[in-house]
Amino acid sequence: MENLLLFIIILFISFLIILYSNFHRRRRGSCSFTGHGKLPSGNLGWPVIGESLEFISSALTDRPESFMDKRRRLYGKVFKSHIFGTPFVVSTDAEVSKIVLQSDAKSFVPSYPKSLTELMGKSSILLINGGLQRRIHGLIGAFFKSNHLKAQITRDMQTYVRRSMENWKEDHPIFIQDETKNIAFQVLVKALISLDPGEEMEFLKKQFQGFISGLMSLPINIPGTQLYRSLQAKKKMGKLIQKIIQSKRDGIGGGSNLPKDVIDVLLMNNGSDQTLTDELIADNMIDMMIPGEDSVPVLMTLAVKYLSDCPAALKQLTEENMKLKEHKAQLGEPLTWSDYLSLPFTQTVITETLRMGNIIIGVMRKAMKDIEIKGYLIPKGWCFFAYFRSVHLDETNYDWPYQFNPWRWQEKDIISSCSFTPFGGGQRLCPGLDLARLEASIFLHHFVTQFRWVAEEDTVVNFPTVRMKRRMPIWVKRKEEN
Ligand code: HEM
């Protein structure tokens, strides 16, 4: 209910701000129609509010895709709508979405609500375009794929998981969502800025909480508003990170040529004559903490939820992980990242969790010119919403799509399918996807090999972000062999 009220207020204020310009944009949209493609069918809803209220009321249910599915039945896989004060072309067609995601910034640029863009800052990788975005994306992607980082992350993750699980007691519930948030945040902060758990980490965590509270706030930046408080928290985090950057520039703690963290990667110029500013680096470090606090822990939490509801999958996953654990114990070797990723069934469990969970429901772009795709016109200035959730839950792509069935991936070619895009695609394909899978694999391994558990009743909430309503409380029992 609170969410609904907040969004109605956001809508109202946004509408007042954009009302005038919007009417003009709508007119221009139809005037610039060249006759080459056709504006998709659909309904722009009520004047000003469009179809936003229906969109939000669906988003608050356990079937948020019902808004899109209803229109898909009426108008086809690509249709027009009007949500959050903007005309949208919505695509539940995997091929059309793929073409848009592969387009460059001359055709489409990212488009986010105003409060989000203010908080991220203009140099965030999520907002910049062209050569600079490609350069930063490439550097980060290569670092997250490097063997050196994977080995380091595996060690760190094992340490943090062990520390967290050592404290689990059998006589009170463990909230999986909180535990995984704590672990994944520490792992990512270490990979980004080499900060170890301690006072500064606690300071960062506290400020970060203040920062993300503003991601879904009213776009008003004056003292007293949530957005203002969040920007202040971001400033404090920025200061700490700039101090770390400065000490790296001064050569303190250096010695090795191998980058230790993402800051090192961005500080190395790699042949480019354009140095990245400290502010740009700091802003991007903060933005990249968001998946550490949100997407990755949600992936782990949902995996625990789905496994709790599917004993056959849990049994097979546990057997696979126990076998690996025993084998490594016999050899007297520690587990490496390739050991974790070599477990085929565990990978199918993670893949199926990504499909069912839809942690990121879709991505948004804005058309920079009139564009025609598969006969559909996307007018200049309109937003495009690639809605992955409907594709992932479409029975023509997946039999019994609402059933958690990791075995389906033993037959399907997941790599080449454009019907499976939890990490987006094209120019902005998530550079953290290997890292997310690695973290989830390590967590699941230690969890299922050390504990049995009983989960309390809980439900998945999908709006404004995916999470568990009660933070996934479970009662654990340590296995005897530990
Ligand atoms: C389950 C976990 C994750 C999911 C579901 C996820 C999903 C996504 C998606 C869908 C996009 C595309 C956004 C767009 O096209 O506009 C994206 C981009 C991105 N992700 Fe992730 N992500 C996850 C984890 C991570 C991690 C661990 C990192 C590491 C820091 C990361 C860093 C990024 C960055 C930097 C981008 C922007 C890339 C660009 O615009 O060039 N993500 N992610």
Chain mean position to CA 174: 24
Distance CA 288, CA 201 (A): 15
Q: Which residue has the tokens 């009220």?
A: 5
CB 135 within 8 A of CB 125: no
Which pLDDT score, from 0 to 100, does residue 112 have? 83
Nearest CA to ligand 1 atom 41: 428
Secondary element (H or E) of residue 79: strand 78-83
Secondary element (H or E) of residue 80: strand 78-83
Atom of ligand 1 nearest to the CA of 288: 30
Q: Mean pLDDT in runs of 10 for the chain (482 residues)? A: 47 41 36 62 91 92 95 97 91 96 94 83 89 92 90 93 95 97 94 92 92 81 91 94 90 71 84 79 92 92 98 98 96 94 96 97 96 96 96 94 96 71 95 94 97 97 92 94 57
Task: Residue 386: count other Cβ atoms within 10 Å of its Cβ.
Answer: 27
Between the CA of 326 and the centroid of ligand 1 the distance, in Å, is 34
**Mutate-to-test residue for ligand 1 from 430, 433, 462, highest number of ligand atoms within 8 A of CB:** 430
Q: What are phi and psi of 126, to 5 degrees?
A: -70, -15
Contacts of 295 (CB under 8 A, 6+ apart): 359, 360, 436
Task: Residue 442: count other Cβ atoms within 10 Å of its Cβ.
Answer: 25
Which pLDDT score, from 0 to 100, does residue 33 have? 37
Which pLDDT score, from 0 to 100, does residue 82 have? 94
CB 263 near ligand 1, within 6 Å: no
Which pLDDT score, from 0 to 100, does residue 30 have? 32
CB 24 within 8 A of CB 86: no
Distance CA 34, CA 29 (A): 10
